[in-house]
Amino acid sequence: MPSAKRVLVITGVPGTGKTTLADRIAKRVGDAEAVHITELVKAKRLFSGVSKQGELIVETDRLRRELERIIARSVQSVVIIEGHLLCDISVRGAMVLVLREHLPVLAERLKRRGYSLEKVSKNVIDEALDYCGMHSGNHYASVFESFCSDRRLMENVRRLLHGQKVCGSIDLMPELYTMISKGGLSL
C-alpha cells in the first residue's frame, strides 16, 4: 500500500450493500478503518431535526468537517467512508465507488426491511436513474460504479487503493422498463 493516506468513499442508494462492503474491505486491507455515516451522524448529533418521513435532516457542512477531522486524525493508511449521503458532499481527495444493485434484487431487499411500497419504489427509481452516480459526478473527480455482486469488485477496489484508474458505469434503465412493464413497481 502506498504510504500516503487514501480515502475511499462508498455511496449508493439504501440497501445496495455499502456497510457490508466497507467492513469487508477494512478487514481485507488490515491497515484501514471504516466510518459509517449513519452511526456518525447519530453519535455526533450532526442533524437539525427529523423529516416528515422520519429521516434525520443531516447538517452536511458539519458532517463534511467531521469527516475531514476523522481523516486527518486517522492512524490508518486507508479510511473507508460509507453512506448514501456522501454523493451530495465533497470529501477532499477521496476516490468514489458507487455501489449498484439490480432493481428486482434491491426491491426485494427493501421490502424485506419492511419499507412501504412507496419507499421501495422511490429507491428503486433513484437507483434506476443512478441518483448517486449522477450526484457523485458533481462532487468528485472520478466515479467508479460496480454491482456489489461483481466478482472483480475486491480486485478493482485494491487497484483503486493503489492509485490505478478504475472505470465503470452501469445502466439500469432497461431493468426499470422491464419492471414497469411487468407491473412490478407501484408508481
- Of 14 and 133, CB closest to Mg ion: 14
- The least distance separating ligand ATP from the CB of residue 38, rounded to whole angstroms, comes to 6
Binding partner at 15 among Mg ion, ligand ATP, none, C-beta below 5 to 8 Å by kind: ligand ATP
- Of 15 and 133, CB closest to ligand ATP: 15
- The least distance separating ligand ATP from the CB of residue 37, rounded to whole angstroms, comes to 9
Binding partner at 12 among ligand ATP, Mg ion, none, C-beta below 5 to 8 Å by kind: ligand ATP
Binding partner at 109 among ligand ATP, Mg ion, none, C-beta below 5 to 8 Å by kind: ligand ATP
The closest residue (CB) to Mg ion is 19
Residues in contact with ligand ATP by the rule CB under 6 A: 12, 14-20, 38, 84, 109, 148-149
Contacts with 80 (C-beta within 8 Å, 6 or more apart), sequence order:
7, 8, 10, 22, 25, 26, 32, 33, 34, 35
- Three-state DSSP at 33 gives strand
Helix then strand then coil, in percent of the chain rounded to 5, is: 45, 20, 35
Integer angstrom CA distances of residue 5 from 1, 11, 68, 70, 77: 9, 20, 12, 12, 5
